[in-house]
Structures are given as structure tokens and as C-alpha cells.
Structure 1
């Protein structure tokens, strides 16, 4: 088997496209395409489904990717083993995160200690981050409320509580110290998209209290939520770590059970010995 062709295939599956795969491998996009085509033609198989917007592995491609991910992870571990006597002066870390407020300070510490390491960060909601981790498109992930399972390494790094975000002119500002979920019935509620951990945690807490609070407006980012609340369109929910330093809005703690989420660094166990992954875990412990 031609390992150059297999590495090109592995990179396309990890990155979800030919352009990002070419950037990862530091070769041209036509070269990546040529490697994939040669691999498929040699074995008379179809490994990828191509469309105008995305590239996805076929069933055979998914099975091959599970092997290629492990193969190249072992190759990286072998290289790390041979370099253990040297400082971590170079390398690449692929990282996914569902909370920019938590990951950015960690990136700053990592850059300070290991300025030669190149970091590729993917920001998304919790489901997108979990998909990147499970699909082995990243080396590790900063993710909220992930369940333990065999083959997964988890390191707790903190927790956050849901808050109510209000426009600065709201009658509760300066008067109330916290708000109960039941009191939100009379408010115009703005919500994140259904895949958002913020929304799922909030709706679960409401369901446990027998509340059904419907959103008047659905927004697909925390930045959009903040701007909508600042504009006086309603109130919304976000985590305490995400409260902006913005005079237009004020956050009040929500009162009730089930409103706290825990945050973790997570990686597949087989990638845990990679030097760059170990270095990031160590930085997170500081």
C-alpha cells in the first residue's frame, strides 16, 4: 500500500474536505485529489462521497479511516518517542472547543510555554465538538458535560452556572439578586439553537420543574443572543463564564437545580501519549 495515498485519504476524512487536507499536509489540493483517485482506482473501490458542499466517507471509507487514524497516531507516537530528549519546539495540535471563554486562556498559556507549536482551533457548539472528537478529526477537545466511556481520557477544568441575561434597563436590574425559572413565564425569551448545550441544559431544568417556556426568537450563536438582548428584544440564557463585559446587558443567577455544567479536556486514550497532547493537559493543570 502507498502510505502517501493513505495519509492523503486520512487527512481528507479528518478535515472534511480537500482544501483543509492539503493545508494540513502542506501539499497542493490537486496532489491530494490525485492521491485519493489513485488509491480508489488501485483497489477499485469508492472511499469518499463528494458533493458541492462537503466530502464524506463511504461505509468502506469509515472503516478504513478507523484504521488509518490509529496508524498515523502510532507513527506520531514513534516520532515523539525518538524526540523525548528534545524540547517541544515544534508540532501541531488540532483542538475543538465549545467554549471560547475557557479555551482562549489555555491557548495563551500553551503559546507562552511552547511558541513553536502550531494550533488549529475549531469552535462550535457541544454536539459539533463531540462529533469532531468522536470522528478523530482533532487530537483533543474542550467540551461540556461529556460522559465517561472506555477509551476516553477526561480531565475536569471547571464548571459554570446558567444565568439570565437582561437588557440594562430591565426592571429587575439593581433590584433582584437571582431569578427563579418560574418567573420567566412573563418574559420574552430568546434561545440558542436546539443543538446548543445552553439550551438543552435550560430546557431539561425546566422540564424537571414542569415548566414549558417557548422561545420567541431562536439564534445560532451567543454573540447574536447578546446583541438581541442588548437591543431589547427579550431576555436569554447563557453560562456565567460567557457573560460579556458590556454595559448594555446584565446577568442575574438563575435559581434552581440542574443549572450547572462541568467542563472537561478530552482525548482518545491512544492519543494521550502524544507529546503535544500531554503538554496541553499539563498546561490546563496550571
Structure 2
């Protein structure tokens, strides 16, 4: 039994006329008769009683009629739902992003996406970089935004830009008057860091240890906003990716260029290399890449 056969049966059953049903389906009467006959053979019995003057339903045909209506309605609804998703009239996509990106640059890209596809729902998971990778690998989200993985054949990474770490100091500190600071300058103060296993924390420790030894931390927090508030209130200094500059300034802290060592890491978009994105996820990916390449317009 297939959809074509059910449509033919329903058309004849509703009109009780092969001629009218054929016109409705744009089929000749012989072709329509063959389709009904094939359905009856598949099911094992007669569904329509035909005479030269009339057509009527057999008891089995009466049983099939409401079921055929429901099956075809479900089929049409499914077709329409998928068509709307493929044309992005409906849909849902999930993306994970590290908080420093989710809270600064991502909203501008989502605004562009929303303007183009207003009926597609977007779920944003702002989690630390390690969880971004984990959610992509375990297919909990289709797209992830974070630092470039050191090595992973299973992930496809599309770079957005190279981010450089900057120093975060209290506005009233003498350090805020400098155009550039070295790590030696910064580490003379109490240091405030994100807690492990934050990728930002691990990256700082790896780069600083070679020249300055183990990073000594006075305060630590899970949230960048808390780090910024601590610095703003004079509890110490910190270092964050440059994409956090606006956030740090809004929290009352001041950012200064940082060198020796200069810490950089590429930030970009991740997806599973062997995964076919949904239409909604592919559209969002294209918008994110477009916005990253036109920072003056969106990002």
C-alpha cells in the first residue's frame, strides 16, 4: 500500500465515481482502475463494489476510509512540516559558545539571523570551552564556538579571527595609565583568574609558566563577570581575551595591551566533520561566518 494508491481510493470513495475521481487526480479511468486494483490485490480483497451504473464501498472499504483520511492527513502534514523546515519557515537549532563570545559578539550575529529567519528558534548554551567541545562531540548541539582545538580529526574548525589576551586592571591603578604592560608588571599584583578547567585559565598557565613560573592566583571565579567586578573593586588584576574588553569596561575595569609573552589563540566555529547539518544549522553557520568576516557590520 502506498500514498498514490490511498489517494486514488479516497478520491473514488468520496465521489463514488471513477470519472469524477479521475478528473480530480488528473488520471485516466483505466489508470485509476489499475491503481485501485493494485491496492486491492496488495490488501487481499475488494474495497469497492462496481457496477455499470454505480460504485459503492464494501465493508472493508468502509473500514479503510477513515483510516485513509487520517493517514493522508498525517502524510500531508509531515510533508508540509519538512518543507517549512527545509525552507526555514520553521525550525530549531542549538549552538554552544564560550561565555566570552556568547555575551559579546554572538548577539549581533543572532540579530542578523533573526532578521532573515524569524521563525527559526535558536537555543544558546553559554558554557566553558571544554563543554563547548563536549556538546558538539556528543551531538547535543550542531554548532560550537570556542578556541581552536589543539588536534581533533572528528571536528571541522572554521576560524573567525585571532584573539589576543589583554590585561585587566582597576581604573584607579597606575597600571591603567600605561599603553602596554608586560606579564612581569601584571604578576606583581594580586591575580584574579577563572577557575579550572576553564580554557582561558589553562592557556594563561601554559604560557606564563615558561617565563614566570607557576601562576599564583589570589582570587578565582567561574564567571568572567565576577572576575571583572573583582578587578573593578580593586581586589587585583587579570588577563582575558580581547573580545571581553567591552564587557570588562562595562563592569568598571580597564583593559591594557599585554605582552611578554604575547598570548594568542584562534577563535572559530566547530562542527562534527562527519555530520550533515540541518537546514537551520547550515543557515546559522553561514550567518556566523559572514558576520565574522564583516566585523564592522555585525561582529
User: Which TM bucket (shorter chain)?
Assistant: 0.5 to 0.7
Rounded Cα–Cα distance in structure 1 between residues aligned with 2:217 and 2:207 = 15
User: What residue in structure 2 maps to residue 66 of structure 1?
Assistant: none
Rounded Cα–Cα distance in structure 2 between residues aligned with 1:109 and 1:85 = 19
8 Å contact from structure 1 (residues 191, 217) kept in 2: yes
TM-score (norm 2): 0.64
Matches within 5 A, 1:198-217: 198-217=200-219
Matches within 5 A, 1:73-222: 83=83, 87-98=87-98, 99-100=101-102, 101-174=104-177, 176-222=178-224
In angstroms, what is the RMSD of aligned CA positions?
Answer: 2.4
Deviating above 4 A after TM superposition, structure 1's stretches of 4 or more consecutive aligned residues are none
Deviation at 1:178, TM superposition (A): 1.0
Deviation at 1:86, TM superposition (A): 5.9
Comparing 211-220 with 266-275, greater Cα deviation is found at 266-275
Relative to 1, partners in 2 of residues 1:159 and 1:242: Cα closer, same or farther, differing over 3 Å? same
Deviation per CA, 1:224-281: give whole Å up to 9, x if none.
Answer: 0011111111111111111123373110111034511211111113434421121112
Count of residue pairs the alignment pairs up: 207
Relative to 1, partners in 2 of residues 1:152 and 1:212: Cα closer, same or farther, differing over 3 Å? closer
1:120 alignment partner, SS class: strand
2:140 alignment partner, SS class: coil
Relative to 1, partners in 2 of residues 1:148 and 1:211: Cα closer, same or farther, differing over 3 Å? closer
Rounded Cα–Cα distance in structure 1 between residues aligned with 2:221 and 2:179 = 26
Deviation at 1:147, TM superposition (A): 3.5
8 Å contact from structure 2 (residues 232, 252) kept in 1: yes
Rounded Cα–Cα distance in structure 1 between residues aligned with 2:155 and 2:253 = 39
Deviation at 1:164, TM superposition (A): 0.9
TM-score (norm 1): 0.67
Relative to 1, partners in 2 of residues 1:200 and 1:130: Cα closer, same or farther, differing over 3 Å? same
In structure 1, stretches of 5+ residues that fail to align are 1-78
User: What residue in structure 1 maps to residue 41 of structure 2?
Assistant: none
Deviation at 1:141, TM superposition (A): 0.6
Matches within 5 A, 1:62-77: none
Relative to 1, partners in 2 of residues 1:247 and 1:268: Cα closer, same or farther, differing over 3 Å? closer
Comparing 127-136 with 208-217, greater Cα deviation is found at 208-217
1:250 equivalent to 2:245? Answer: no
Return the match for 1:266 from 265, 270, 277. Answer: 270
Relative to 1, partners in 2 of residues 1:104 and 1:247: Cα closer, same or farther, differing over 3 Å? closer
8 Å contact from structure 2 (residues 169, 254) kept in 1: yes
